[in-house]
Copies of this chain bind each other. A is one copy, B any other.
Amino acid sequence: MISRGAIIFRQLFDRSCCGYSYLIGDRSQNIALLIDPVLECVDRDLKLTNELGLELKYVLNTHVHADHITGSGMIKNRLNTKENLKVMSIISESSRAQADICVSDGEVIDCGSIKLTVAYTPGHTNGCMSLIDHLNRRVFTGDTLFIRGCGRTDFQNGSASKLYDSVHSQLFTLPDEYNVFPAHDYNGQSVSTVGEEKKFNPRLTKSKEEFIKIMENLNLDYPKMMDVAVPKNMICGG
C-alpha cells in the first residue's frame, strides 16, 4: 500500500497559468476526483492517478476559467467509452455551462469517503463555487479567494460587491483553522488558512466600499487566453 492514510491528497501546479489542480483520492475504495484540471497537464495527472491506483470518478471545475482550457474534456475523452461513462464532469448550475452534473449551493459531492460541500461564491464570475471538505478541514476557493488576494472581477459578469459578500458570508464564516487551497497563486505560496486570510488579506480585510474601489482600479490586461478558453470551458472542455 502506497499511503497509510485513507485520503490521498495532491496539489498539482501548472506553471504557465500559475494554476493549482487538486487530486483527492479515497484509498479504501480507490476512487478519486480532480478539481480544476488543466488541459496541458492531463498526461501528468492521469499518469499519477494511475500510479496511485485510483479511478477518477469526477472532474470538477470551480468555474468557467478564462486563463486556461480545462482538462476535463480530454480526461473524459480518454477514459470514457460510449457504453461506460466512468468519469463525469461537474460545474455549478449558475455557471450555465454544460456538464454531466450541475450542482448548487449546499449540495454535497460524494466520492467514497470524500465529501465536498458546494458553497456558491459568485464574484470573480457569476458561476463560481468553492468546495468545502469539512472532514479534512479544507476549502477549495477557486478564483474567489487567493492567498493574500482574490480573483479579478472585471469580466464574465464579475462583481466586486458579490465577491466581497461571497468571501465574507461563505468563506470567512468557516473555522479559522480550515486550510485554504486556491485555484491560483502567483507568488509561490501553496496554502493558507481562513484565519490568516481574515487577518492578513490586503483586500478582503478592507470595508466593502474600499474593496470595490481597489477592484475598480486594478487596470488589468485582457486575459490572453479568454477568447479561446471561455467557449471551450462553457462545455467543460467538450
**B-binding residues in A (CB < 8 A):** 1-5, 10-15, 18, 41, 44, 48, 51-52, 137, 176-177, 187-191, 193, 195-196, 199-200
Contacts and interface: CB of A to CB of B under 8 A. Distances in A.
27 contacts: A1-B176, A1-B177, A1-B195, A2-B176, A2-B193, A2-B199, A3-B193, A4-B177, A5-B177, A10-B189, A10-B191, A11-B190, A11-B191, A12-B188, A12-B189, A13-B13, A13-B188, A13-B189, A13-B190, A14-B188, A15-B18, A15-B188, A41-B188, A44-B187, A44-B188, A44-B189, A190-B190
Nearest to A137: B4
A15 B12 contact: no
A106 to B, nearest CB: 25
Contacts of A193: 2-3
Nearest to A4: B177
A2 to B, nearest CB: 5
Contacts of A195: 1-3
Please tell me how many copies of the chain the complex holds. 2
Contacts of A15: 15, 18, 188
Contacts of A188: 12-15, 41, 44
A168 B190 CA distance: 30
Nearest to A40: B188
